[in-house]
Amino acid sequence: KNLRHLNLNFTQITGKTLDQLQSLPNLKSVSVAGTAVDYTNLMKLQSFPKLKAVYLWSTPAAKEKLADLEAKNKNIAYYAGYTGDTLMLQLTPPLLGNEEHVLTEPEELKLKHYINGAVIRYTLDGSTPDSLTSPEYKPGIMIDSNVTLKAAAFKPGWYSSKVLEYHFYKKAFVPDSVQLLTMPSPQYPGAGGRTLNDNVRSDLNFSSGKWIAYYDNDLEAVFRFDKPVVTSNITISLLREYSRHIFPPGKVEVYGGESSSNMKLIGTLTPVMPTENEPNANISVVCSYPRTEVKCLKLVVRRVRSMPKWHPQRGQKAWVFVDEVFIN
């Protein structure tokens, strides 16, 4: 009921139910640009006690009886055409048509925007797109590797949109079985080993049930294949939330071989020590190693044993939260 400014621009509304906005007694402005709202619909707003402005360019109402509207509703200002000194709106972010985070084969990137003339620019390296140097989105762009997509919409006379961010992960090999050698914390067991291989990434909610978490021991898991595969890296999807003592791993180790009793160390990774001001995020680390034919892989994700000096609980051990493992 305290809503004062309502933006319905370029939505699918017809205006037939505008009178329902009377339940918002403090409403001061309504924007309906680019909708099907007409003169009859807008007449429903004349009884709104605090309404002072209606923005209606690119609507049927902007083309018919505008003078009549203004004459009958002298307390309301109607803005039927865009000028740079009246109002500058922000574009909505681009819409992503891809439904899956996990790529088992190359997939076309699908982006769109509903506002005519809006240009979508994007990056695939995690940098923020801009209106000058970032490539313009065109159909036909294929994704076949781990990438961080960032995309934004731009149009003259409009503020650029907020940035859409999405992570794609390549998964070349699907293990036939996953076995946890060490058990996760009873608080965050997820679905056991299935959690690491179900192609379901969690959001930032650490208690979603989609994470497995370790605090008193390290994550150790074995991935078995019925037939040999040639792999060169493992990507681990993780949670970062320092206020809850959730850190990236202190170290990652990968072992490979013909069987669980015949494996050797083939790769290690020591992630960079995190800095204080990094935001909560879904992140990933990649442990690469020489191309190796295996039927069995063992992954060890070691926790941070001592949180850094900048953390309020410095010196104490940290949690590690994992939701997916991708083998390539």
Query: Which tens digit of pLDDT belongs to each residue from 220-235?
Result: 999 999 999 999 999 9
Q: Is the pLDDT of residue 3 over 80?
A: yes
- Neighbouring CB atoms inside 10 A of 209's CB total 12
* pLDDT given for residue 9 in this prediction: 81
pLDDT band of 83, cuts 50, 70, 90: very low
pTM for this model (two decimals): 0.72
**Six token digits for residue 188:** 């965050």
Residue 319 to residues 189, 250, 269, Cα–Cα distance (Å): 13, 10, 18
Query: Which tens digit of pLDDT belongs to each residue from 273-324?
Result: 889 989 999 999 999 999 999 999 999 999 999 999 999 999 999 999 999 9
Residues 6+ apart with CB under 8 A from 87: 31, 55, 79
Q: Is the pLDDT of residue 199 over 70?
A: yes
- Neighbouring CB atoms inside 10 A of 49's CB total 9
Residues 6+ apart with CB under 8 A from 232: 288, 289, 290, 291, 292, 328
Task: Compute the CA torsion angle 98, 99, 101, 102 (nearest 10 deg).
Answer: -100
Mean model confidence pLDDT for the chain: 91
**Six token digits for residue 27:** 């409403």
pLDDT band of 57, cuts 50, 70, 90: confident
CA angle 77, 80, 82 (to 5 degrees): 110
Buried b (16+ CB within 10 A) or exposed e, 131-157: eeebeebeeeeebeebbebbbbbbbee
